[in-house]
Amino acid sequence: MKRRLNGPLLVFGGPYSNLEALKAMREIADMRGLTPEQCLCTGDVVAYCADAKACVDEIRNWGVPVVMGNCEESLAEGASDCGCGFEEGTACDLLSKQWFDYASQQITQDDRNWMAGLPRQIDYSYAPFRLKAIHGGVDEINRFVFASQKMIISEELLKADVDIVLAGHCGLPFYQKVGDQHWINAGVIGMPANDAQPRSWYCLIEPDENGLDVSFHQLAYNHERSAEKMRQAELGEGYATALETGLWPNLDVLPELEKKRTGQALSFNRFRINP
């Protein structure tokens, strides 16, 4: 599937069953006058928060292209967990099993069929650039790729064989350039970025006569309401608190550098991508 782009592209990751965040994202897209085709979700529509079914309904109703996340893959297959590959018995493993069972009970067979039909990659042409949207790694849906892992990024970029990769899954927004190739992770909207801010992040790519302008933006939404719903659903305190404090309940998946940055406010400049 190859899509041709002319105007701006709004990229967002992981709604994570956070309906308030997803609705806020849609409102921003509408405010900017962006059509669904000018938006992209990099997967994991369903995860930690309380509104699994409502988020699936919202995103299907919105009609934005969605790349399959490991959460969609696992729910579509009727698997027993989210497929993140967390080590058995770790905090991540236990927390993910909890929301997974809850989400699995909410969604319908029709939702699972929709998830099963999602593309694993979406190719864009954004003259003169070639882009590929994926979830984790190019061949591995649940591969964590973080900003500090330049070797992994260059390996993945080599496989992708395009100018720009738009990725998700890791939960943290970042931009990296390796040679002439670019890796953009828009972050996720359904959880904060472990930066002690309750707001989450998304990315906007805007073309001009000289190339592309890439900017990262914070998404403010009613996180108190999302946290309250998680508590009502008894989904565990860890991620409900994270929505309020902006700090993740555990850091198992993070490389050392990202661990050290816990609680530090993210500040992004705009990035230029020139032909």
Residues that bind Fe ion (CB under 5 A): 44, 69-70, 169
We find the least distance from the C-beta atom of residue 97 to Fe ion, in angstroms, to be 15
CB 252 within 8 A of CB 232: no
We find the least distance from the C-beta atom of residue 128 to Fe ion, in angstroms, to be 31
Which is nearer to Fe ion, 44 or 195 (by Cβ)? 44
Which is nearer to Fe ion, 163 or 258 (by Cβ)? 258
We find the least distance from the C-beta atom of residue 144 to Fe ion, in angstroms, to be 9
Identify which of 52, 30, 37 has the alpha carbon closest to the alpha carbon of residue 115.
52
CB 199 within 8 A of CB 256: no
We find the least distance from the C-beta atom of residue 35 to Fe ion, in angstroms, to be 26
We find the least distance from the C-beta atom of residue 169 to Fe ion, in angstroms, to be 4
Which is nearer to Fe ion, 23 or 135 (by Cβ)? 135
Task: Please give the structure tokens belonging to residue 139.
Answer: 């061949």
We find the least distance from the C-beta atom of residue 136 to Fe ion, in angstroms, to be 6
- CA–CA distance from 36 to each of 59, 62, 121, 200 (Å)? 10, 7, 17, 20
We find the least distance from the C-beta atom of residue 41 to Fe ion, in angstroms, to be 12
Which is nearer to Fe ion, 48 or 114 (by Cβ)? 48
Which is nearer to Fe ion, 143 or 223 (by Cβ)? 143
Q: What does the CA dihedral 77, 121, 29, 230 come to, rounded to 10 degrees?
A: 30
* d(C-alpha 69, C-alpha 56), whole Å: 13
Q: How far apart are the first and last CA of the chain?
A: 23
* d(C-alpha 77, C-alpha 69), whole Å: 12
What residue has token string 């550098």? 257
* d(C-alpha 240, C-alpha 225), whole Å: 10
Which is nearer to Fe ion, 44 or 156 (by Cβ)? 44
The residue sitting closest to Fe ion, measured at its beta carbon, is 169
Which is nearer to Fe ion, 92 or 273 (by Cβ)? 92
My answer on whether omega of the bond before 15 falls inside 30° of 0, hence cis, is no
Non-local (6+) Cβ contacts of 74 within 8 A are 81, 82, 83, 100
